[in-house]
């Protein structure tokens, strides 16, 4: 294994041949013709079918759990309860390639005594058929004694509130103290104060959680599973009490993730049952299991005070966040940190005060979701910017222009931005692309809104993230990539093929990527945090460049020139200034193979590493770098019915360098529509912790009827830390959309509705000057 390899001076490609082209993704055709196998499409002979029995209460004591009748049902192979499990916990801290000691976030695998959320698993049932497993569920006798619960984070902070777990309900706190907040507000001509609320949001990936596990002849537990993180083999091993090298996780092409398959899903249940039964076991969540059974996006209550001068300059920001962590910690501390870092947005704020708490309740636990706290903060700071512009009587884009960060400015945590900050260009281009306002009549009003953002790409720097990748050339001139990266639908594997094709001067068709198998592909880290292209792309590029360097050196000898004069393209190796002096890539590889020249490379890419931030001031490095951009929206609002129609939706993002512009557009378009659902229609409603929206007929994600065609504007500063200067687009695509829509609605009706989702009922009530009935979610 090497780190950054020493390369012979190979001439870099001046004009890229593969990078920046909207190529058909390598995975697209198989998916379109229906030959792609997802994790749920694998079966094995003699396989058992698994169901998970869940709690029907959100806060209770498990008095009795009698599974005798279920076990006696013919066809039931195994029923596991906490009584049969080793006294072990499931780790829930941040996964992946980090040796960092994890926080104390572990949770029970099955309920032993105390139920803390609706749907918490009580028992696992494995049977010969799914039908029998379902029948056995009905035979389990579970006696639950209701206990007082707490369902609102603000209530949970009060003295005497029921404690969900441990000492108190604050599971994480973060703060920033930068500059002099009192001085900043003293200098302000105007102080704008507002409170914004966001709701529980569901990932709604189309492929529910699914996996298949078996124990092989070496005693290794093999798990084929739909996941963003194959490195969970470690947490599964810890939960079983076996060494880490005794669990293997294989992914498959994933049917959507968005953060919802970042935590462990079915892996531990499958591993326990495979070991208990000695047979292959398969578990596929129903949609209701999925909606009930995985963590949601954190609802936030965000109170902002923003001080501005008459000329628009921000003098101070004070932000207070309360996030609902639900019943278990999971990634709440990190989500909260992202929100805090993003609190001022892409603006220079020298005097900044942020206090944030994540608070336990008996609601569903909350964890990773595309945007990861920074999206919630954007919903508040961008509405706050529009309110400030309104109060100052200033153009909304102009107010932003006067405050945008510039390269070299210090962000919220006191470290300077090193890459390009093209917020202004992105905002201007997105806004201009809205064109002429749509003409309407009658009770319909048109409104426009914009939101800019700052979103990290890459993981928290003190996790010391790494990614390994392998590139090798076969003797016939074809290329193999091995990378642990999971492909969750954004084309992560295809992007690697495109990078390698660029470096080795071959085509996409010449490259095959083997990915996401913890036993045979080098561990690349998680597909989370907008890090897959940045980290894995860099690792694979390093590996490909090392192979290229050795091949170029051999070609130079053959062609009688210096290595610096050799170039590779179109599967040929040639003298750059005399392309007629050449040999085929395949012939060169044969030459190299015959002489024992090493035709493969395992490379590691390391992200920048920092110490933890100062907990009292929040100052220090948190992320490797940040992406910037903006989204613009035009809506039509019917002032009689409250109906909101999104007419135009334009995302403009500096992605550094688009590896595949079609794939980048796909991210922007998908993010725009997810963000639209976040703003207007989606809400996981919990009543006393019980989920009231357990299907897609109650939890409403946008359909083809609800959305306009999305326009994508890709800007390329080539200033990012990723391969070829790339930044990232996975999370940024979503982050500014909901606040842009909120701003457009406020522009249309002249009243701001500070609580998402902005439903027709809220619009009508706001226009009649009435408060909307509090939502079903706790404490609203």
Partner 1 sequence: MSREKIIVLEVNGRRHLKAFPAHRTLLEALRELGFFDVKCGCEKGDCGACAVLVDGEAVDSCLTLAWTVEGRAITTAAGLGTAENPHPLQDAYAKLGAVQCGYCTPGLIIASESLLRATSAPDDDDIRLALSGNLCRCTGYTKVFEAVKEVARGRAIGGRK
Binding residues (CB under 8 A) for partner 1: these are 22, 24-25, 27-38, 40-41, 131, 203-208, 253-258, 284, 286-287, 488-491, 662-663, 665-666, 669-674, 695-697, 701, 703-705, 707, 709-710
- Least CB distance to partner 1 at residue 674 (A): 7
Closer of 34 and 393 to partner 1 (Cβ) = 34
- Least CB distance to partner 1 at residue 475 (A): 26
- Least CB distance to partner 1 at residue 24 (A): 5
From the list 723, 727, 632, 719, the residue with the least C-alpha distance to 675 is 632
- Rounded Cα distance between 741 and 724, Å, is 33
- Least CB distance to partner 1 at residue 707 (A): 6
For residue 757, say if its preceding peptide bond is cis, omega within 30 degrees of 0: yes
Q: What percent of the chain is helix, strand and coil (3-state, nearest 5)?
A: 30, 25, 45
Closer of 33 and 771 to partner 1 (Cβ) = 33
Strands 247-250, 352-360: pairing kind: unpaired
Q: What are the angstrom distances between the C-alpha of 110 and each of 119, 176, 233, 239? A: 11, 38, 19, 11
* Chain CA centroid to CA 746, Å: 29
Strand order of the β-sheet with 247-250 is 76-81, 121-127, 48-54, 281-284, 210-215, 221-225, 247-250
Identify the residue whose tokens are 């009003």: 445
Closer of 294 and 762 to partner 1 (Cβ) = 294
Spatial contact of 564 and 11, defined as CB atoms under 8 Å apart = yes
Determine phi and psi for 163, rounding to 5 degrees.
-95, 125
Determine phi and psi for 109, rounding to 5 degrees.
-80, -50
Closer of 52 and 254 to partner 1 (Cβ) = 254
Strands (E) located in 572-672? 572-575, 578-584, 600-606, 625-638, 644-654
- Least CB distance to partner 1 at residue 433 (A): 14
Identify the residue whose tokens are 């020298």: 350
Closer of 487 and 654 to partner 1 (Cβ) = 487
Q: What are the angstrom distances between the C-alpha of 403 and each of 333, 347, 387, 744? A: 29, 5, 15, 21
Closer of 291 and 319 to partner 1 (Cβ) = 291
Closer of 307 and 677 to partner 1 (Cβ) = 677
If phi > 0 it is left, if psi is from -120 to 50 it is alpha, else beta; for residue 779 that is left
Closer of 31 and 410 to partner 1 (Cβ) = 31
Spatial contact of 495 and 27, defined as CB atoms under 8 Å apart = no
Closer of 287 and 445 to partner 1 (Cβ) = 287
SS3 letters for 111-173?
A: CCCEECCCCCEEEEEEECCHHHHHHHHHHCEEEEEECCCCCCHHHHCCCCCCCCCCCCCEEEE
Closer of 36 and 429 to partner 1 (Cβ) = 36
Closer of 250 and 271 to partner 1 (Cβ) = 250
Specify burial of residue 415 (Cβ count, 10 A radius: 0-12, 13-18, 19+). Answer: middle
Closer of 489 and 739 to partner 1 (Cβ) = 489
- Least CB distance to partner 1 at residue 216 (A): 24
- Rounded Cα distance between 39 and 145, Å, is 38
Closer of 89 and 662 to partner 1 (Cβ) = 662
Q: What are the angstrom distances between the C-alpha of 300 and each of 154, 457, 610, 779? A: 11, 22, 28, 12
Closer of 29 and 557 to partner 1 (Cβ) = 29
- Least CB distance to partner 1 at residue 203 (A): 8
Specify burial of residue 433 (Cβ count, 10 A radius: 0-12, 13-18, 19+). Answer: middle
- Least CB distance to partner 1 at residue 397 (A): 25
- Least CB distance to partner 1 at residue 694 (A): 10
Q: What is the largest CA-CA distance in the chain?
A: 84
- Least CB distance to partner 1 at residue 510 (A): 17
Strand order of the β-sheet with 444-457 is 444-457, 625-638, 644-654, 710-715
- Least CB distance to partner 1 at residue 602 (A): 29
What residues form DSSP beta bridges with 190?
308
* Chain CA centroid to CA 81, Å: 32
Dig out the tokens for 455 from the structure. Answer: 């979103």
- Least CB distance to partner 1 at residue 636 (A): 16
DSSP letter for each residue of 740-758: HHHHHHHHHHS----BSS-
Closer of 489 and 618 to partner 1 (Cβ) = 489
- Least CB distance to partner 1 at residue 673 (A): 4
Taking the C-alpha atoms of 244, 333, 299 and 487 in order, what is their torsion angle to the nearest 10 degrees? -40
């Amino acid at each position: 294994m090497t780190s950054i390899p020493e390369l012979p001076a190979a001439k870099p490609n001046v004009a890229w041949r593969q990078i920046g082209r909207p190529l058909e993704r390598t995975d697209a055709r198989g998916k379109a013709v229906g030959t792609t196998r997802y994790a749920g499409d694998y079966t094995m002979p003699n396989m058992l079918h698994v169901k998970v029995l869940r709690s029907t209460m959100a806060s209770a004591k498990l008095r009795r759990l009698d599974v005798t009748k279920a076990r006696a049902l013919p066809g039931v192979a195994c029923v596991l309860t906490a009584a049969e499990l080793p006294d072990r916990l499931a780790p829930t801290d941040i996964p992946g390639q980090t040796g960092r000691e994890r926080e104390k976030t572990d949770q029970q695998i099955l309920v032993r005594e105390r139920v803390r959320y609706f749907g918490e698993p009580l028992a696992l049932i494995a049977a010969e058929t799914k039908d029998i497993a379902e029948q056995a569920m009905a035979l389990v006798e579970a006696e639950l004694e209701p206990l007082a619960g707490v369902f609102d984070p603000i209530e949970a902070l009060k003295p005497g509130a029921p404690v969900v777990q441990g000492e108190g309900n604050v599971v994480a706190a973060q703060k920033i103290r930068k500059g002099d907040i009192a001085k900043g507000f003293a200098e302000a001509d105007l102080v704008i104060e507002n409170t914004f609320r966001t709701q529980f949001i569901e990932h709604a990936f189309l492929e529910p959680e699914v996996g298949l596990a078996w124990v092989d002849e070496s005693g290794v537990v093999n798990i084929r599973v739909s996941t963003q993180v194959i490195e969970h083999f470690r947490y599964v091993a810890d939960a079983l009490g076996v060494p880490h090298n005794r669990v293997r996780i294989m992914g498959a092409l994933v049917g959507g993730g968005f953060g919802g398959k970042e935590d462990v899903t079915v892996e531990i249940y499958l591993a326990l049952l495979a070991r208990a039964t000695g047979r292959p076991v398969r578990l596929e969540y129903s949609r209701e299991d999925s909606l009930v059974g995985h963590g949601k996006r954190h609802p936030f209550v965000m109170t902002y005070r923003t001080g501005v001068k008459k000329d628009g300059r921000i003098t101070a920001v004070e932000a207070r966040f309360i996030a609902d962590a639900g019943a278990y910690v999971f990634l709440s501390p990190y989500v909260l940190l992202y929100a805090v870092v993003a609190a001022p947005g892409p603006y220079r704020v020298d005097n900044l005060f942020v206090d944030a708490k994540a608070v336990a309740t008996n609601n569903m636990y909350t964890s990773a979701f595309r945007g990861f706290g920074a999206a919630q903060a954007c919903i508040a700071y961008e509405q706050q910017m529009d309110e400030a512009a309104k109060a100052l009587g200033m153009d909304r884009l102009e107010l932003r222009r006067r405050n945008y960060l510039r390269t070299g400015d210090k962000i919220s945590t006191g470290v300077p931005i090193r890459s390009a900050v093209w917020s202004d260009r992105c905002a201007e281009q997105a806004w201009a692309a809205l064109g002429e306002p749509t003409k309407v009549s009658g009770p319909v009003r048109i409104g426009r809104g914009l939101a800019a953002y700052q979103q990290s790409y890459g993981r928290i720097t003190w996790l010391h993230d790494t990614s390994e990748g392998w590139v090798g050339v076969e003797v016939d001139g074809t290329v193999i990539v091995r990378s642990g990266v999971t492909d969750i639908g954004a084309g992560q594997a295809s992007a690697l093929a495109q990078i390698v094709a660029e470096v080795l001067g071959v085509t996409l068709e010449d490259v095959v990527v083997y990915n996401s198998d913890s036993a045979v592909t080098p561990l690349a880290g998680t597909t989370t945090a907008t890090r897959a292209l940045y980290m894995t792309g860099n690792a694979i590029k390093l590996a490909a460049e090392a192979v290229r360097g050795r091949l170029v050196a051999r070609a130079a000898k053959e062609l009688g020139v210096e290595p610096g004069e050799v170039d590779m393209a179109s599967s040929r190796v040639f003298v750059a200034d005399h392309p007629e002096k050449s040999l085929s890539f395949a012939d060169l590889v044969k030459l190299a193979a015959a002489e024992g020249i090493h035709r493969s490379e395992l490379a590691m890419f390391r992200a920048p590493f920092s110490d933890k931030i100062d907990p009292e001031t929040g100052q220090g490095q948190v992320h490797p770098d940040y992406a910037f951009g903006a989204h613009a929206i035009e809506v039509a609002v019917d002032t009689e019915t409250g109906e909101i129609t999104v007419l135009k939706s334009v995302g403009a993002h500096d992605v550094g360098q688009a590896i595949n512009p079609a794939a980048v557009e796909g991210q922007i378009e998908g993010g725009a529509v997810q963000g639209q659902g976040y703003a207007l229609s989606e809400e996981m409603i919990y009543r006393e912790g019980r989920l009231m929206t357990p299907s897609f007929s109650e939890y409403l994600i946008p359909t083809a009827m609800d959305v306009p065609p999305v326009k994508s504007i890709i800007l390329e500063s080539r200033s990012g830390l990723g391969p070829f200067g790339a930044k990232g687009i996975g999370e940024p695509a979503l982050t500014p959309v909901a606040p842009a829509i909120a701003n457009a609605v406020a522009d249309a009706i002249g009243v701001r509705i500070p609580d998402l989702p902005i439903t027709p009922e809220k619009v009508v009530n706001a226009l009649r000057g009435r408060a909307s009935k509090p939502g079903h979610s706790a404490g609203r």
